[in-house]
Structures are given as C-alpha cells and as structure tokens.
Structure 1
Amino acid sequence: MNSSLLSICLLAVSGLVLFLYAVSRLALALRHVAGERMKGWLHRFTKTVPMAILTGAVVTTLLDSSSVVIILAIALVSAGALPFRNSLGVVLGANIGTSISSQLFAFDLGQYAVVAMLPGLLLLSFAKKRNKRTIGRALFCFGLLFFSLFLIGEAAAPLKDYATVQTWLLKLENPVRGAGAGALITLLIQSSSATLGMVIKLAAKGLLTLPAGIAVMLGAELGTCSDTLLATMGRGRPALKTGLFHLGFNLVSITVGLLLIHPFTALVMRLAGQAEVSRQIAHAHVLFNVAGVLVFAPLVPLCQRLLDAWLPDQHQAVRSLTAQPA
C-alpha cells in the first residue's frame, strides 16, 4: 500500500516538475521570438483602458503566462516606457488571457503531445538559425506542457482507491479551506497555471468536485500575486503601484467570489449544462476573470487617483514640498 502510494506521488511530482519546466522554457522561448514586438504592442496599443485590457489579454494568451506579461508591464512602467495608468488595463487583460490556458488544459491533449514535441525537437536539434531553434524549443515545450498534465492525471487516477485522500479532497469544498490550499500551492510552486492544471486533471479523474475546484481556483488567483510583487522591488513607485493594483484587484475579486461562491457555482452548473466537471472548472475560471475585469474596468481612473495619492511619484512629492510656503 505504502509503496504504491509512493509510486503515485513520484509520478505526480515528476509530472509537476516537467510542467513547471515547460511553462518557464515556453515563456522564455516566446519572449525571445516576440519579446521586443510584445513590448512595442504594450507601448502602442494601451492608450485607452479598453485597448490596454484587450492588449493584455492577447499578449498573455500568446506568451501563456499572466505573470510574465504583468512583470513585463512593471518593467516598462519602471523604465518610463509605459504610463502607470495604462499598465492597470494590461493587468486586467492579463487576468482574462490566463484563463485561456485552463480551457486548453480541459482538453485531453496529453496523448497527442508528440505532434508538437517531435517537430519541435527536430527544429531544436537540426535548425541552423537561432530563431528557428527558438521556435522549435517553444513547440517542444508546448507539447511537454500537455504531456506533463497527462502524467499528473495518470498518477492521480489510482487515488480513487484511497479513502483518506478522497476525504481530504472533499474537505476542499469548504471555500476558505479550498482557497487557502490553492493559494499555498501556488505560492510554493510559483505557477497558478500548474495549480489550475492539477485541479482540472483531478476533476477529470473524478477526484475533485466543482465547488472544491472553484475554491482552489480562487486561491490560486491570490497566490500568483507573489512573483509580481517581488518584481516591483527596487523599481520605483510607479512599478510598485502596478503591483499593488494587481494584488488589490485579486483580493477584492477573490473576497467577493468566496462570499458568492454558492450562487456562482450554481450559475456555472447552469451555463455549463452537462459538461464534465473539468470543463466546468475551466468555464468557471473564464467567467470569474471576465466578470472581475468588467466590474473593475470603470474603476481604473479611481484606482489610479487613490494609488497616486497614497504613493505619489518622487518628483511629484518633491515639487509639492518645494511649492509649500516656508
């Protein structure tokens, strides 16, 4: 019994390690292919809040990482290449873009991963131009992403026979406990995509219910703020304000989500119809992020004024002090 459980854990951890490697290398490869172009898009197409949201969503979908896009926006704000207000729309759009990944994870593509991995490996091994090798690396890592999720799903399947594991997973239906587990897991592995991927695969194997999956998903949204906050360190107040807006947006939306989790779950079940639980969780992720952005988008000017008043830029603070009469 113990050796069997150890084998399950080792296979699941191996899948998780491969997933984290694939996510990091895929984001890096895509940044090499289109990094400067993405910076240009963020600078050019973020003049208004709706355009900034749309640009953030598109760039996040292409780079497959909301953290990378938000960190990129923070870097541009710090360098003065992106106005602070424009970055707020990018942050909102990134939250929509990251939900596209959960839709892809809900498809059982792991057994077809070789379709992307093989040509990617061939390009990586035999292409002479650096750009083609980078494209090959991106293809290989894209396939590896789904293969690693397939491994996690196969490792999780035998857990149905363990009553203790099932009992613990059922406890995640408690909104606070489920959200806490999601936040902790995401904080430890530094990837909300990995957390969502595991949740979707556990649900596909019948190990996780929709209420538990939604609760963990809400927690993962909070855990992903850690790396963006770390990215603001030493980058000045405009970058810090962008990171704080991301944290505030997630805190408010997650709190509302937890308070309304039961009607929200009922709404997802009604909209998703007879879809599998894994697909319902993916739909819930999209619905939650889109609803949060629609509510927050009109409040961007107010959020900007509040953050500017709380953390004025250094040169503005100096001007206001020198303007005061002696």
Structure 2
Amino acid sequence: MDIFNVFTFIGGLALFLFGMDVMGEALKNTSGGTLQRSLSKMTSSTFKGVLLGAGVTAVIQSSSATTVMVVGFVNSGIMTLHQAVGVIMGANIGTTMTSWLLSLVSVSGTGFLINMLKPSSFAPLLAMIGVLMRFAGKTDRTKNAGNIMIGFAVLMTGMETMSSSVEPLSKMPGFIQLFTKFTNPLLGVLVGLTLTAIIQSSSASVGILQALCSTGAVTYGAAIPIIMGQNIGTCVTAILSAIGASKNAKRAALIHLYFNIIGTIIFMTVFYTLNSIIDFSFMDHVANPAGIAVIHTTFNVTATAILFPFSRGLEKLACATIRDDKTPVPDEEQDEILQRLDNRFLSQPSVALSVSTDAVLRMAEYAEEAVDLAMSLFDKYDEDVAARIKKLEKKTDRYEDRIGTYILGITPQALSEKESRRTTILLRSITDLERIGDHAVNLKDSANEMYTKNQHFSNNGAEDMKVMLRAVTELLKITTSSLRDFDPDAAEKIEP
C-alpha cells in the first residue's frame, strides 16, 4: 500500500462522512419535524419510548442526533427523565439500520438483480436522479428527496472507495498481525471507543470497520470487541451536549453512557465465557460487512432486552451520580416555557420553531390577560390588579427578548420556505405582543388617573367601553387562535 492509496482512503472517508451528513439532514427535513416533535409527546410507557426511539433514529440515521434531542427535551422540561430512558434504548437499535445499508458493498453475483444491488451500479443512477430532483424540483419535499438520493449515492461511493483503497493491506503481514492484537477484548474496545469518540458517530466508525473487511485481515474475533467500544464511544456526543444543561439533562446523557457500558460488560462477559466453554469456530473467520451488521444489531437488541426491565434502575443510578442541589432556584429561572428554548434544538429548525411557537402563544396569553385586567380597572380600580398588570408587562418584555434572540439563532440554519415564513411571522408577532403589553400599562395608568381624580364615565360612555371591551377581547382571542394554528382564514376575520 503506497501513499496514493492513503490519499484515496482519505478521500473515500471524506465522501462517506459528507454523504452521511447530507442524507441525514435531508431525511430530517423531509420528516418536517414530525418525528422529532413526536419525541416530545412521549407517554410514560418505556416500551413505546423504545419503539419511537428506534423509529426516529432509523429514519434520521443518527443515534447521536436522537440522543442530543432527548437531552434537550429533558433539559427544557418537555420530556421527563423516565421517558428519556426508553427513547435512548431505542436509539441504539435504530442506529443499526445504517450498518445494514452499508453492508450492500459485500453483495456479489452475476445476475441482473444482484448487480443492481451493488453500489457501483445503483449509486450513479441515484446520484443523477437526485441531482435532477434537487435542481428541477419546485417544492422543498422534492428537493429534500433529491438530497437524500445524492447523500446516499455519495455515502456508498465513499464506502466503495475506502474498501478498494485498503485492499493492498491484505498483502501486508504487518497489518494482518496488527489486527490479531485486537482479538484482545479490552484493546479492541479501547480502539473502537477512541475512533468513535473522535468522529462522534458510531454509524461512521462501523462503516470504516466494514470497509476494512475487504482486506481479509478483520476476523470476527477482532471485530466484536471493536463494535462494543464503538457503542460506548458514541456517547461522547450526548455528554458534550449536556455541558451547561440542567441536572436531569446531564442524567439523560449519563443513562446513555451507563446503558452502553453495562450492556457491553454483560454481553462480553456472557459471550467470552461461552466462547471459553464452547469455542466458537467463527471467531477466526474473516468478517464481512453483513456480518458486522449482524453483530452490531445483535448487541444492541440484546442489551436493550436485558436492561429494559431495569430502566428504573438506570434512572436511579444517574440520579445517584448527579444529586439535586438544595439551593432554591429563582422563580424567573423556573419559567417552564422559556426553558424549552434550548440551544440544542437550533440544529433542528422544525423543533426549534415548535418550541418558539409555544413561547409566543404563552406571551400572547400574558398580553391578553394584561388587557382584560386593564379594562376592568375602569369599572373598579384595584391596586393588586394594577400590580399584576405591571408584572405581566415585564413578562412580555422578557419573552420578547428571549424569543427574539432564540429565533435569530435559528435563521442561520437551512430553512424550508415554510419554516422561513414562520420565522418571520413569529418575529413580527413578538414585537406586536410586547406593544399590547405596553398598551395595557397605558390603560392602567389612565384608569389610575381617573380613580385618583374621582372621575367617571357617563352611562353612554360606560356602555361604549363595554362594547369596545368585548370587541378587543374577541379580537385578541381570534388573533391568538390564528397564530396557534397558523390559520389565514381565522386571521381574515380580524380586519372587519
């Protein structure tokens, strides 16, 4: 193997990682945030959490992305720690889908259908179709579908390039001897852990291992401990995302780590104990990409099956590791809605816009309440009510500042036309809602002036005020409703 083979391998790895990123982003955009938002609506059933976690990860092709979202949901209070356990377990199962797709490089045969399953046959066709859809498509959905095809084609091309570039290694005794050392389980785990921690993707590191299978030097004895280490190494992404987060969010990241460490210890202990008794003959056989996928899937499914009954135990272990503070948290920091504006969602625009919309709707409720209370002061002035109006106005100010800053963090992301339009609407809405809060204070001041000067409306004036109050109240309710559902038909009822 010469320097040019190394360059080819590096280029193949670059294509592989880029293709995986493009395909993953396109898959997330195609789902329109439905899968991501469904994570936030989890029930208390751990089993349903496992199914949903597996489904979401299989679609977006990244257990790291799913786990980071879970950490964000727990941090913002959208999801409980107990709900997170099942989703994390499921994410480990869902991530095995990528290894099965990559195993297509090992397909061999001479028939037409068999040849069409080979990446060298279908990747160019997918790439061309994807490019046509990407540039000729008129809708975001069509363009995203094109990006999925392009990403997958690039990914498979990179995989094939890596496999072909390392073939000369099969003739190097030193390389073959190197892999015999990985049959030491602890060393293999360490290698898999380190590689995955560096590139922060178990799917990518498993893909690299599958590519190395073409050398004939990777036996199942060497591959098994490396795969175990890869599952532990992928936890680094979630742990990094939990830095600066709430204690429960950090616990969610720890649950991911504990699940993989405990699962690895149990799996390896049982497997190598049986191997010492039975002596599995396949351990010395040369591994292939499909075999790697089988091992990857078997481990994650087995670990989930074993640890599923102990989900509460994992939760308690994480809570015992990170204990609660006894220091009380200021009320302002306990605002549940504002806590949901988590920066971890900024890379998932659909989720970030969903939590932003919730915050804007809460802001609208505060503004509406402030106006209702202010109008009531003209009938009967009350200092407690006046104080409540001032407090609500401060809340709308705080919401405008926090939501505006958060939404501006979304805008650098690649947004669809619909998401971009919603971003603009939300930014305009918070400015108007803050102004409504200011008007409520102005009304309160006017009512206070009338009260201190002992002034009153005439009977006709009082009736006019009641009519105006009903109209304003109805306007605010229709406005909030149309904003909640982004319903243009409801919004058209406001103008008359």
Q: 2:297 aligns with which of 271, 286, 290?
A: 286
1:205-243 CA distances to partner (integer Å, 9 max, x unpaired)? 412001111111111111111111011112211111100
Deviation at residue 181 of structure 1 after TM alignment: 1.2
TM-score by length of 2: 0.59
- The answer on 1:196 being equivalent to 2:193 is no
Deviation at residue 258 of structure 1 after TM alignment: 3.5
Q: Which amino acid aligns with 2:201?
A: S
Deviation at residue 123 of structure 1 after TM alignment: 1.4
Provide the rounded CA distance (Å) in 1 between the counterparts of 2:216 and 2:13.
19
Q: Return closer, same or farther for 1:128/1:11 CA change in 2, 3 Å cut-off.
A: same
1:267-315 CA distances to partner (integer Å, 9 max, x unpaired)? 997899x99643222211111111100111111122223433543556x
Q: Indicate the SS of the match to 2:22.
A: helix
Deviation at residue 152 of structure 1 after TM alignment: 0.8
Provide the rounded CA distance (Å) in 1 between the counterparts of 2:279 and 2:295.
6
The answer (yes or no) to whether the contact 1:106–1:278 under 8 Å persists in 2 is yes
Structure 1 segments unaligned to the other structure (5+ residues): 320-326
Q: Which amino acid aligns with 2:311?
A: V
Q: 2:267 aligns with which of 257, 260, 266?
A: 257
Q: Return closer, same or farther for 1:74/1:260 CA change in 2, 3 Å cut-off.
A: same
Partner of 1:50: 47
The answer (yes or no) to whether the contact 2:263–2:307 under 8 Å persists in 1 is no
Provide the rounded CA distance (Å) in 1 between the counterparts of 2:315 and 2:213.
39
Partner of 1:75: 72
The answer (yes or no) to whether the contact 2:169–2:215 under 8 Å persists in 1 is no
* Equivalent residue runs for 1:137-286 within 5 Å: 137-262=147-272, 277-286=288-297
The answer (yes or no) to whether the contact 1:182–1:215 under 8 Å persists in 2 is yes
TM-score by length of 1: 0.88
The size of the alignment, in residue pairs, is 314
* Equivalent residue runs for 1:51-130 within 5 Å: 51-108=48-105, 109-111=118-120, 112-130=122-140
The answer (yes or no) to whether the contact 1:31–1:63 under 8 Å persists in 2 is yes
Partner of 2:20: 23
Q: Which amino acid aligns with 1:297?
A: F
Provide the rounded CA distance (Å) in 2 between the counterparts of 1:317 and 1:91.
30
Provide the rounded CA distance (Å) in 2 between the counterparts of 1:46 and 1:203.
42
The answer (yes or no) to whether the contact 2:213–2:286 under 8 Å persists in 1 is no
Deviation at residue 265 of structure 1 after TM alignment: 6.8
Q: Return closer, same or farther for 1:283/1:33 CA change in 2, 3 Å cut-off.
A: same
Q: Which amino acid aligns with 1:302?
A: G
More divergent stretch after superposition (181-190 vs 54-63): 181-190
1:72-109 CA distances to partner (integer Å, 9 max, x unpaired)? 11111112111111111000000111112212222224
The answer (yes or no) to whether the contact 1:217–1:285 under 8 Å persists in 2 is yes
More divergent stretch after superposition (246-255 vs 56-65): 246-255
The answer (yes or no) to whether the contact 2:56–2:66 under 8 Å persists in 1 is yes
Q: Indicate the SS of the match to 1:52.
A: helix
User: Relative contact order (C-alpha < 8 Å, sep 6+): which is higher?
Assistant: 1
The answer (yes or no) to whether the contact 1:268–1:280 under 8 Å persists in 2 is no
Partner of 1:13: 10
1:97-141 CA distances to partner (integer Å, 9 max, x unpaired)? 111221222222421212322211111122232332222112210
Provide the rounded CA distance (Å) in 2 between the counterparts of 1:268 and 1:224.
30
Q: Indicate the SS of the match to 1:113.
A: helix
Provide the rounded CA distance (Å) in 1 between the counterparts of 2:49 and 2:274.
27
Provide the rounded CA distance (Å) in 2 between the counterparts of 1:260 and 1:251.
14
Q: Indicate the SS of the match to 2:31.
A: helix
The answer (yes or no) to whether the contact 2:61–2:95 under 8 Å persists in 1 is yes
What stretches of structure 1 move > 4 A for 4+ residues in a row?
263-272
The answer (yes or no) to whether the contact 1:210–1:265 under 8 Å persists in 2 is no
Partner of 2:142: 132
Q: Return closer, same or farther for 1:226/1:203 CA change in 2, 3 Å cut-off.
A: same
1:122-178 CA distances to partner (integer Å, 9 max, x unpaired)? 111222323322221122101211111111111111111111111112221111111
Larger radius of gyration: 2
More divergent stretch after superposition (285-294 vs 163-172): 163-172
More divergent stretch after superposition (68-77 vs 203-212): 203-212
Structure 2 segments unaligned to the other structure (5+ residues): 106-117, 330-496
More divergent stretch after superposition (305-314 vs 33-42): 305-314
The answer (yes or no) to whether the contact 2:133–2:145 under 8 Å persists in 1 is yes
Provide the rounded CA distance (Å) in 2 between the counterparts of 1:207 and 1:240.
40
Q: Return closer, same or farther for 1:271/1:162 CA change in 2, 3 Å cut-off.
A: closer
The answer (yes or no) to whether the contact 2:168–2:215 under 8 Å persists in 1 is no
Q: Which amino acid aligns with 1:133?
A: K
Provide the rounded CA distance (Å) in 2 between the counterparts of 1:103 and 1:16.
18
Provide the rounded CA distance (Å) in 2 between the counterparts of 1:260 and 1:97.
24
Q: Which amino acid aligns with 1:286?
A: T
Q: Indicate the SS of the match to 1:44.
A: coil
Q: Which amino acid aligns with 1:95?
A: N
The answer (yes or no) to whether the contact 2:218–2:287 under 8 Å persists in 1 is no
Partner of 2:435: none
Q: Return closer, same or farther for 1:275/1:263 CA change in 2, 3 Å cut-off.
A: farther
State, as a whole percentage, how many aligned pairs show the same letter: 25
